[in-house]
Structure formats: C-alpha cells, structure tokens
Structure 1
Amino acid sequence: MTNEQLLPALLGVIFFLVAFFYIGDLENILGYETLALQSPATAKKKSFLEDPLGTSETNEHLDLFDWEKIYESRKNLTRDTCQALPNDHQDNTHIIEKVKAQILGPFSLRFVVDEKHKILYCELPKTGCTNWKKTLLKLIQPDTFGKMKWENIRSPHGKKGPNGYSYLNEYPLEKQLEYLDTFYKFSFVRHPLERLLSAYRDKVEKYLKKAPEFNDENWRRGKFHSFVRDLIENGLPRQPGQRRRHWSSFMYLCDFCSVGYDFIGKMDTLNTDVNYVLNDMNVSELTEYPTGYSTKSYNSLLVYYKGMGRETLEQLYLLYKTDFDAFGYTIPEKFYEYV
C-alpha cells in the first residue's frame, strides 16, 4: 500500500474510533440508553414480584409529544369502550341531559368545583382523591389553604362547605350545566384489583382488627376471599352509599360514557400525569401534589390474592370488565398462575 493510500485509511480508522467512544459517552450523558428512546411497548418492565399486575411507571422518560399521544389514546379507548357496550348496557346520554333530568345518583359524579380556575375534578375513591382535594383546596381557598404547606392540610374530606370546597350538584341547575359545558374536567383511575384491595383494607378490614385471629395472615386472606365471593355473587352496587362506592365501578361513579373528560390520569403514571395536568390547567405555580407519592403495595397484592384461584379471579375480572377495557388494564397470565 502506498503512502497516498495509507493516509486515508489511517484517518478513517481514527475517525471511527473517535466517533465510537464519543457517541458511547454521549449516550451516557444524554441518557440515550434510558427509556427516552423506547416506545411504551418496548420499555423495560419490572419483574413479577416487583410489579405483579404490570402497572409500574416504566415510561417516565418519554418526551412530551409521546405522552400527549398516550393521553389522547386513553380518551379514545374509553370512548371506544362505551360505544362497544351491548345495547342493554349502553348509557351514552350526554351528561347535560342527565343533569337536566336529575337522574344521577347521590354518590355518582362527585365533581369538586374550582370556579376561579374553571376546573371540575371527579373524585374516585382509592385513586388519590384525598391528595387531590388538598391540591384543589389550595386553589379554591388561597387565603387559607393556599398559605399552608400541603402536608399540613388535615382531613380534606371534612373541608366541604363555604370555607372549603363544594360539589357540582350543590350548585343551581343553570350553573351545573354551564360548568359541565365549559370547565376543564379530569379524573384519575387505577388498576381495578389494586383499587379493590385498597378499598377492602380501608373500609372493611380495619373493623376486624380487634378479632383475636387478626394477626394470622391466612385468616386475613380468607376474609378478603369471602368478601370477593360475596361481591361476585351480589354484583356491584348500582346506587352505592358512602361506603360501598369505594368498590363501585369507575365507569358508573364518574360516568365516563356521558362526560367528555379533558384528561384521564392513572395512578400507575401518577407523577408524570400530575405534572402534565397541573400545567395543562395552568395552575402548576399555584398549588402542588406530592412528588414521589406511590400507591404501590405489591406485597399486599400477592398476600391477599394468593390462593383465590383462576375461576374466582376470572369472575372478578368479568365483574369489572368495563373498567378493565375502558382504561386499558389486564390481569397478566403470571398473576393467574400465582393465585
């Protein structure tokens, strides 16, 4: 090889080596090996023991454009689920018509109203609604709660009234119709199995703590299984009271088939969703929601559902099928195998 041929070859090798090491370092600097360049379908999942229902927040590094596509697809999925319901299960009457006809149940469609910022939040039990009430109280009553630290706002459910918050159904009919038509409407959902267990432990199990057998894990698990079997046998409450609404259907409580929600958040992607919706409502500088907050209790899921059996779990799935379908939730095969 002549000198004239050797020089370009050497320069090519040097360029390749420099590019290789530089790009490799750039990947570390910019996080190219993180989830930022991965689609939701390829994002790395946690192990079964870490995340038995497959709902962990794996896509937090996606960019805003990708997240907005995800948020739009959530609304589309909910709408498509409503349209696909059998005729005898469909209730797509527009919410304005339902309010006019005054046919809503007393514990359905509980919208917390923020008149100043034109926000309606539909509370769903066991999906972070206690924290959302704190967040909204800082907006609704800035002279009192707005000056308090978020963690110092105690018992937000008891802050209803002129010095706290109000529900939409407490307003005159014309105001209800106006707000439903013009305000920003949002809600948050959660995997039905996680939410059911959380509701059971909060509203049923805590009253069993005085039983001498309470410290026996098998006894507590058996009580939960009995609760689930009773629920399957009797069905979900159609007009639930204050307690039973905690395990009533999301679709019923917030009437997702009749209300055009601007945003549907998920507890699985809570931190990302909270940041987005607060910005989307132009209130991110005025209030807060706890960062790093997590509802995950994987050990409890595995403890309480263990031994339930595939047949019972499949019946439970059918009981909440509309919620599963409308919000894109499933029960992984590994979870079936475990129980």
Structure 2
Amino acid sequence: MNLRQVFVSVLMFGVAGLLLFMYLQAWIEEQHTVSGEELQQQIINQDFKLPPPGETRRAAQNRSAPAGLSKQETAASGGRHSQGKADPFGVVAVSLASQLPDQQKMTESFLNQFREVYLPPAMRPLNKSLIKGDKWKDVDGAQEKRRSFLYGFCKKHNSRKKLRTHLVHVVSRIYVEDRHKILYCEVPKAGCSNWKRVLMVLNGLAASAHNISHDDVHYGKHLKKLDSYDLKGIYTRLNTYTKTIFVRDPMERLVSAFRDKFEHPNSYYHPVFGKAIIKKYRQNANEEALKTGSGVKFKEFIQYLLDYHRPVGMDIHWEQVSKLCYPCLINYDFIGKFETLEEDADYFLQLVGAPAELKFPNFKDRHSSDERTNAEVVRQYLKELSKQERQLTYDFYYLDYLMFNYTSPVV
C-alpha cells in the first residue's frame, strides 16, 4: 500500500468517526431534552391552584374591561401563588408596558420551552391603508391591544437564541393564500372550516364560501400549507405576508371538540380514540362499546386528556394553541377571537384587500341543529368532573389562557 492509499484510508476513517460522533451527540441530546408535554406535566404538578370557586367571577365583575375589549378578554386570573402572594395575573394591562411579576417562577419554568427562539425586535404595524371611515374603530382598538398584549407577554419570556424547534414543524398548521399574501394558522373549533372556505374564495378556487362542502374544505387539499415550500419560500412569506390566528376560550373549544367528535357518529374518532378511551378508562365496559368506541363520556375523555400515558396520541382538535401555532415563535400580525369572530374576520378581510362582497360566513359547518357551545353549555359538562379534574384541565390549557388574555373558569 503506497502513501497515497494510506492517506485516503486514514481520511475515510476520520470522516466516518466524525459522522459517528455527531450522530451520538445528537442522540444523547435528544434523550436528555425534556419535551414540552413533559415540561408541562412537571409544572402543573407544582403548587399552582385556581382561586376558590366564584372568586374569579367576582373579580371579573368588579373590574371593567379595558377600552376596546370585551369582559371575556380581561386578563386570565391565575391561581394562588405558593408564597401566598395576591393573584399575579388577575388584572394584566393589555399593553407592551404590562409585565408579569418576576416571582412567578412557575410561569418562568413553563415558558423555558420558548427561550430558544428569536422574537423580532419590533411588532410590525398593520397596513391600514385600505380601511376607510370610522366603522372599524372599535375593532381596530381591540386588535391593537391583543397584539400588544401577546407581543409583550412573549417578549418577556423570550431571548435571542438559536431556534431548536425545526421551522418546518413550527409552520405545519399554517395555510397560505398567495394572491392576498395571507398566512392563516388553523385552530380547530375556532371557525377554521369557514376560514378555509374564505381562503379558497380568495385564491380563486370557488365563487362563494357557501357552496363549499365540509369534505372539500377538510379533505380536498385545495389549499397549500407553509411547510410545503422550501426554506426560502417559508422565510419570505413569514417576513412579508399578513399572519393571522383565530383563537377561542380553551374550555369552550375543548367541549366543542368533544361534542363534535364523540356525540355524533364518526368513522374515525370512535374506532381510533373512542375504543382506546373506553378500554382504558371504563370499568366493566360491554362488548359493543369496546367494539365500536361509541358513547365516550366527557369524564372519560378528560381522563384520557390528562393521562401522561395516553392509550392514543393527541389530536389537533384539542391540542393547545401554543403547540399548534407557536404564538411566541411566530409574530402574528392579526389575532382574532371566536367570541367576536364575524367582525374580526370582516375587518381582517378589509385589511388584506379582499373583494367588498366577500363576507365571513356565519353558518355552522356540521350538526347545525345542535346548540352552539357556549359558557352555559361548558358549565354543564364541567359538572361531570371532580374539582381536581377541573383544576387539572385548566392547568392543561394554562398557557393558552395567559397568552390570549382569557379569564380563567370558575371550577
């Protein structure tokens, strides 16, 4: 073997060794990285508790909502602090000047999962050049407060560090409408079906939102998602398109999802989720229930949701918005709420230059004869749970309550 062959052999072994070292290092880091769900479980096991029943409601009634915001949008009343401090999140000002108390170690720990990200240094102003007159003054005021509140909240808990979560995963729930340069993050049970219809009309795929079926919306694959583009395409759109998210009170969204997927015939959720839930959480389940997965009770569903070792994985219909749309990683330009869905949506359509005749549809996508899920309906479902189960369910969605300034429920 001549000198050149020796050199090539040594070089090849060196490269192979380097690759092996990099693989082992990545594997070790992965094994020692606490997932968001594990982190959440650690945090909610601490001493964070909700206020006594009725305290949150009385506090909300005794304070007026900030100008431009409904009472439902007043700050989330976090629970009693382990050191006996007053409720730190009871009255959170909706502005960039608002600061969450430093002693909230629980929140700090929970938000560590967002510390490895880069938040843009400034909130991009909305282009309001297409808005005429004073018709949208109140809606615009509420919008600016929501944007400022979320931006200030995320800025408090972020630092400029390397993004660990892969960008393609972060944007996997975002739909793209290139004609009007819109990015819409899908939050199920918060008007997403009708939003997809609107995007299809804007994209020239349909003449009217009212003529698009449920199957075409959800299974037609007519709309592109942001993760289908290359990295350059993703970055370009994130930096230049108008990014919007529509959210909903977490408990209402949860109950709505349960009613939709488990109280009506469903060829997917019953055999996949229903069978697994009944098998694990129902004592003496009969053969019919085990075979079909139909008839899941709300209490059983909550047991599944709170189980660290779930028999079947999570689903987007009840996943936290913080994990679906990453509101502290993506600087959303527009934050709509289900509670003011139509006026928020129509204002947004004006902002992006949609045709004047296009209005956000207000029809219910499915089960139109059912009563809409509202606060009273939610209360009836929560009665089926123990106080501890209600508390843990709130804890599960704690970050969503804080990020979007929802009032915590009375449990």
Structure with the higher helix share, 1 or 2: 1
Amino acid at match of 1:170: S
How many angstroms does 1:115 deviate by? 1.0
Task: Please point out which of 137, 158, 161 is paired with 1:65.
Answer: 137
Matches within 5 A, 1:85-100: 85=157
How many angstroms does 1:332 deviate by? 4.1
Q: Is the Cα contact below 8 Å between 1:111 and 1:168 reproduced in 2? A: yes
Q: Does residue 79 of the first structure (1) align with residue 151 of the second (2)? A: yes
- Measured against aligned partners, the alpha-carbon deviations of 1:35-68 in whole angstroms (never above 9, x if no partner) come to xxx9557979xxxxxxxxxxxxxxxxx9633332
How many angstroms does 1:212 deviate by? 11
How many angstroms does 1:91 deviate by? 8.2
Task: Please point out which of 216, 236, 254 is paired with 1:178.
Answer: 236
Aligned to 1:245: 316
Aligned to 1:152: 211
Q: Does residue 127 of the first structure (1) align with residue 201 of the second (2)? A: no
- Measured against aligned partners, the alpha-carbon deviations of 1:88-116 in whole angstroms (never above 9, x if no partner) come to xx68768xx67xx845438x642111111
Change (3 A) 1:136 1:68: same
Task: Please point out which of 180, 193, 206 is paired with 2:251.
Answer: 193
Q: Percent identity, please.
A: 31
Q: Secondary structure at the match of 2:257?
A: helix
TM-score scaled by length of structure 1: 0.64
Structure 1: gaps spanning 5 or more residues = 1-37, 45-61
Partners in 2 of 1:205 and 1:298 — Cα distance? Answer: 18
Task: Please point out which of 298, 301, 316 is paired with 1:224.
Answer: 298
Q: Is the Cα contact below 8 Å between 1:81 and 1:322 reproduced in 2? A: no
Aligned to 1:105: 169
Matches within 5 A, 1:309-320: 309-320=386-397
Structure 2: gaps spanning 5 or more residues = 1-65, 73-133, 265-269, 276-285, 365-370
Change (3 A) 1:327 1:180: same
Matches within 5 A, 1:1-339: 39=67, 64-85=136-157, 102-105=166-169, 109-140=172-203, 142=204, 144-145=205-206, 147=207, 149-154=208-213, 155=215, 156-160=217-221, 164-206=222-264, 207=270, 223-234=297-308, 244-285=315-356, 287-291=358-362, 295-298=372-375, 300-333=377-410, 336=411
Partners in 1 of 2:245 and 2:408 — Cα distance? Answer: 22
Partners in 1 of 2:241 and 2:172 — Cα distance? Answer: 15
Amino acid at match of 1:328: N
Partners in 1 of 2:154 and 2:335 — Cα distance? Answer: 15
Q: Secondary structure at the match of 1:105?
A: helix
Change (3 A) 1:203 1:42: closer
Change (3 A) 1:109 1:79: farther
Partners in 1 of 2:160 and 2:304 — Cα distance? Answer: 30
Aligned to 1:24: none
Q: Is the Cα contact below 8 Å between 1:92 and 1:258 reproduced in 2? A: no
Partners in 1 of 2:185 and 2:70 — Cα distance? Answer: 32
Q: Is the Cα contact below 8 Å between 2:256 and 2:373 reproduced in 1? A: no
Partners in 2 of 1:63 and 1:236 — Cα distance? Answer: 49
Amino acid at match of 2:152: D
How many angstroms does 1:84 deviate by? 4.4
Partners in 2 of 1:212 and 1:109 — Cα distance? Answer: 39
How many angstroms does 1:325 deviate by? 0.5
Amino acid at match of 1:225: K
* Number of equivalenced pairs: 256
How many angstroms does 1:298 deviate by? 4.8
- Measured against aligned partners, the alpha-carbon deviations of 1:218-240 in whole angstroms (never above 9, x if no partner) come to x96x8211221232232899xx9
Partners in 2 of 1:93 and 1:189 — Cα distance? Answer: 27
Change (3 A) 1:114 1:152: same
Change (3 A) 1:232 1:172: same
TM-score scaled by length of structure 2: 0.54
Q: Is the Cα contact below 8 Å between 2:68 and 2:141 reproduced in 1? A: no
Change (3 A) 1:184 1:114: same
Q: Secondary structure at the match of 2:179?
A: coil
Q: Is the Cα contact below 8 Å between 1:275 and 1:284 reproduced in 2? A: no
Partners in 2 of 1:84 and 1:236 — Cα distance? Answer: 33
Partners in 1 of 2:152 and 2:263 — Cα distance? Answer: 36
Change (3 A) 1:42 1:109: closer
Amino acid at match of 2:182: I
Change (3 A) 1:267 1:212: farther
Q: Secondary structure at the match of 1:245?
A: coil
Partners in 1 of 2:180 and 2:299 — Cα distance? Answer: 44
Q: Secondary structure at the match of 1:112?
A: strand
How many angstroms does 1:326 deviate by? 0.6
Amino acid at match of 2:344: D
